[in-house]
Amino acid sequence: MQQVDQQGGILRLAVPVPLRRLFDYLPPEGVEASRLVPGQRLWVPFGGRKLVAVLVARVGESSLDSLKPALELVDQQPLFDERSRAFLQWAASYYQAPPGELYSAALPAALRKGKPADHWAEQWLALTTEGKGLPDTALARAPKQQALLQKLLAGGPQSRTALRADGVTAAVIRALEERGLAAWESGPTVPPPLPSAEPTPPPGLNEEQRQVLAAIPTQGFSVSLLEGTTGSGKTEVYLRLMERVLEAGRQALLLVPEIGLTPQTLRRIAARFPQHSIAALHSGLAEGERAQAWLAAAGGQADIVIGTRSAILTPLPRLGAVIVDEEHDGSFKQQDGVRYSARDLAVVLGRMAEVPVLLGSATPSLESLHNALNGRYQHLRLRHRAGDARPPQIHVVPTLGQQLEEGFAPQVLRHIGETLARGEQALVFINRRGFAPALACDDCGWLADCPHCSSKLTLHRRERSLRCHHCDYRRPLVDSCPSCHSRALSALGGGTERSEALLANRFADYPVIRVDRDTTSSKEALDRLLAPARDGEPCLLLGTQMLAKGHHLPKVTLVVIQDADSGLFSADFRASERMGQLLEQVAGRAGRGDLAGRVLVQSRYPEHPLLQLLLEKGYGPYARQLLRERAAAGLPPMRAMALFRAECEEPRWAQEFLEQARGMLESLAPSSPQLQYLGPVPALLERKSGRFRFYLQITAEQRAALPPLLSRLCAWAEGNRNRRLRWAVDMDAQELA
Ligand code: ADP
Ligand code: ZN
Ligand code: ZN
């Protein structure tokens, strides 16, 4: 049975539920279908609940025979324009995301909950007919009122935001209203004001910057990778590109990493474009401010939109260019829920909107570098520093056979102590990410490696086994070193809590500031945490990648990388890339003030060719070498990769579920050189919050081969669900953890 309505009176809606499909409804009682436009929100009944859905299309027929009416129309004007809807639909099918959840992710919380958009309509103070008829000296006895009258006569209606920014008081406004000279009117939403900044004219570009800017096409779709060390003037190039976009009457979108959206960044941009309205979208905003900024962006009122990951999902009707700063940053990839990559979507959006995309980094991701080297992206470079910071000295501290204290060599602890005693600051990176322990001998340096691959075996304690995450070879755990018979075997990257405890104890006279995703859920928390460091008092900062950039900490003169090996030998093939990015970024950090910097890198293998390459030649040549290794190993970016993850309190169920999934996939598309399956294998972090985690890895020569396969996989999984088991598709997975 089908329901047919030739007038297109059936509503196809994205409903925020974890199902990979749209849902059909009838218009709300008493609302003409013709009033309904795609992109509007409606309240709908769903399984006994009331949800906020987005109208995707009006259609003439439905495969269902009884449709429920929607409950209520929320928006007069659509929130999502046509391109934005097409873009979200593309993303939903590429990432296998439930469309309703993707629309939800695109909306700010307040709008997701169904708040009316008019709530944030800007109020404009306009002269009444009577007001317009007055000479501009009419209120000479009340100078403040007269000033406001003149402003309105000369400049037309003024927004409440602008009046507030100009210091016009409510009393003065009320006086004009009471005289019947002016009245408030509703208009489109404008972004909340940013911290004010003195307008600053741009510096003249240097020759390299000029060439880079000239090479970015003004019109049409293009992607350029701007590779340039920290301080080489990339941001200046972004600002000039924005200027060009604004002159053409278009909107510029700038994506920055989670911790990159600092008040300094905003001030720098606000100072450059005092005449333009700027919407900042980030997690530090109050709910109402965020909705206001989003509506100004989506309504086209904001000329510049700056935001973190989810800003890429915001509709931008006048989009003129997309810029992604620090494009290699891990925070552009959403790691749960809808697992999209904002960096990759930026390229898709650029193509749909036919505008240039600029990806910038001092340490480009191997994905982008590969595309630049093979000519798919234009490769632009800034080789010289625009500023004049001195490069720091980098030393490797060999740790093999040393008496380590919770992972630190005595000389490293001594250096930290001396740095603090001199009144300076030290920054210690403890590699916590990836939890990909390889097994190593502390006495001779033996490493458990795979007899079939050039990769290291990964320690899985629960199974008491060593497994290869590349070919699935496995062997039982050993108690002593096969090479020197020492029993001093340890997991690379293990014991981070104890390392932290040691430092906190040893240097208890100084503030020890721990920065990671757990301690710093918000921008404000991070700013507060870092206050002593900014004030310049001696302190010890402990951190992850988060600390590597974005913060100007001129008193940091010592940087310690506790364990380069867990980066170099991790079973997570991306660990070496991250390690290189970290080292290059901290090298750009240390000694930025007038104090010289020193970087100490602990390693069991100071002679390792990759480490040598990184330390001697820097990230560029190192990254190119990693690309050759990835090619040899058949790994991304040369092949596309997706993970099908499952987790469950009962490990056997998760494993069996993935085995069945693999069987189903192999019957659809048998494995071949073009398409390969691996697993199920335990995730590098095997157990999390009481659940055992496994994944199935699928790699393909052609990226386009994966989405159709994954779509079938999802349909299968939705029909074969064990309620106690959670599963997820991770297209272009970034972490094997
Ligand atoms: P990046 O984004 O590559 O780290 P920035 O654009 O922030 O580099 O530039 C680093 C510093 O150099 C900033 O203080 C910036 O104002 C300054 N700068 C950049 N380009 C120029 C230029 N052409 N002339 C003078 N100063 C410049
Ligand atoms: Zn040994
Ligand atoms: Zn192997």
- Ligand 1 pocket residue status of 57, Cβ below 6 Å: no
Cβ–Cβ < 8 Å for 357, 350: yes
pLDDT of residue 212: 97
Nearest CA to ligand 1 atom 24: 203
CB count, 10 Å around CB of 720? 13
Q: How far is the CA of 208 from the centre of ligand 1 (A)?
A: 12
CB count, 10 Å around CB of 48? 5
Q: How far is the CA of 458 from the centre of ligand 2 (A)?
A: 17
- Ligand 1 pocket residue status of 230, Cβ below 6 Å: yes
Distance CA 543, CA 623 (A): 24
**pTM as predicted:** 0.88
Distance CA 493, CA 292 (A): 44
Residue 260 has pLDDT above 90, yes or no: no
Confidence of residue 435 (pLDDT cuts 50, 70, 90): very low
- Which ligand is closest in space to the CA of residue 236? 1
- Ligand 1 pocket residue status of 437, Cβ below 6 Å: no
Confidence of residue 297 (pLDDT cuts 50, 70, 90): very high
Closest CA to 262 of 72, 530, 633: 530
Distance CA 266, CA 280 (A): 8
Taking each helix axis as running N to C, give the angle between helix 82-95 and helix 706-719, from 0 to 180 degrees, rounded to the nearest 10.
Answer: 70
Instruction: Phi first, then psi: give them for residue 21, nearest 5 degrees.
Output: -160, 170
Across the range 263-273, mean pLDDT stands at: 89
Of 40-49, 158-167, 650-659, minimum mean pLDDT range: 158-167
Of 62 and 36, which is predicted with more confidence?
Answer: 36
Of 366 and 683, which is predicted with more confidence?
Answer: 366
- Ligand 1 pocket residue status of 545, Cβ below 6 Å: no
Residue 494 has pLDDT above 70, yes or no: no
CB count, 10 Å around CB of 165? 12
- Ligand 1 pocket residue status of 234, Cβ below 6 Å: yes
Confidence of residue 595 (pLDDT cuts 50, 70, 90): low
Distance CA 557, CA 420 (A): 10
pLDDT of residue 518: 54
Cα dihedral: 461, 464, 469, 475 (round 10): 160
Distance CA 358, CA 380 (A): 10
Residue 96 has pLDDT above 50, yes or no: yes
Across the range 651-669, mean pLDDT stands at: 95
Closest CA to 10 of 116, 106, 22: 22
Distance CA 423, CA 353 (A): 53
- Ligand 1 pocket residue status of 205, Cβ below 6 Å: yes
Cβ–Cβ < 8 Å for 89, 47: no
User: pLDDT of 516-559, one tens digit each?
Assistant: 655 555 556 667 777 777 777 888 888 766 666 555 667 788 88
User: What is the layout of strands, in order, in the sheet containing 675-688?
Assistant: 675-688, 691-700, 640-648, 725-731
Length of the chain: 737
- Which ligand is closest in space to the CA of residue 450? 3
Cβ–Cβ < 8 Å for 99, 107: no
Find how far residue 166's CA is from the centre of its chain. 35
pLDDT of residue 545: 63
Cβ–Cβ < 8 Å for 111, 291: yes
Of 249-258, 570-579, 693-702, minimum mean pLDDT range: 570-579
Closest CA to 426 of 509, 531, 540: 540
User: pLDDT of 483-493, one tens digit each?
Assistant: 899 888 887 76
- Ligand 1 pocket residue status of 235, Cβ below 6 Å: yes
What is the pLDDT of the chain when averaged over all its residues?
Answer: 88
Instruction: Phi first, then psi: give them for residue 360, nearest 5 degrees.
Output: -125, 145
pLDDT of residue 3: 65
Of 2-6, 70-74, 136-140, 504-508, minimum mean pLDDT range: 2-6
Closest CA to 650 of 694, 697, 714, 696: 694
pLDDT of residue 434: 42
Q: How far is the CA of 402 from the centre of ligand 2 (A)?
A: 14
Residue 586 has pLDDT above 80, yes or no: no
| 444's tokens | 């001779």
Nearest CA to ligand 1 atom 23: 205
Of 285 and 390, which is predicted with more confidence?
Answer: 285
- Ligand 1 pocket residue status of 231, Cβ below 6 Å: yes
**pLDDT more than 70, % of the chain:** 92
Of 629 and 263, which is predicted with more confidence?
Answer: 629
Report the nearest atom of ligand 1 relative to the CA of 238. Answer: 6
Of 245-254, 407-416, 475-484, 496-505, minimum mean pLDDT range: 496-505
- Ligand 1 pocket residue status of 387, Cβ below 6 Å: yes
SS (HEC) of 509-578 = CCCEEEECCCCCCCHHHHHHHCHHHHHCCCCEEEECHHHHCCCCCCCEEEEEECCHHHHHCCCCCCHHHH
- Ligand 1 pocket residue status of 588, Cβ below 6 Å: no
Residue 560 has pLDDT above 70, yes or no: yes
Type and span of the H or E element at 253: strand 251-255
DSSP secondary-structure letter at 341?
A: B
- Which ligand is closest in space to the CA of residue 481? 2
Distance CA 152, CA 166 (A): 13
Report the nearest atom of ligand 1 relative to the CA of 229. Answer: 3
Confidence of residue 116 (pLDDT cuts 50, 70, 90): very high
Q: Cα dist. 154→123, 148, 204, 596, 710 in Å?
A: 19, 10, 34, 55, 60
Nearest CA to ligand 1 atom 5: 233
Of 42-46, 531-535, 597-601, minimum mean pLDDT range: 531-535
How many Cα atoms occupy the beta-carbon half-sphere of 444 within 13 Å?
A: 11
Of 567 and 437, which is predicted with more confidence?
Answer: 567
Of 551-560, 678-687, 717-726, minimum mean pLDDT range: 551-560
Residue 406 has pLDDT above 90, yes or no: no
Across the range 31-56, mean pLDDT stands at: 95
Report the nearest atom of ligand 1 relative to the CA of 204. Answer: 23
Across the range 511-516, mean pLDDT stands at: 79
Cβ–Cβ < 8 Å for 368, 334: no
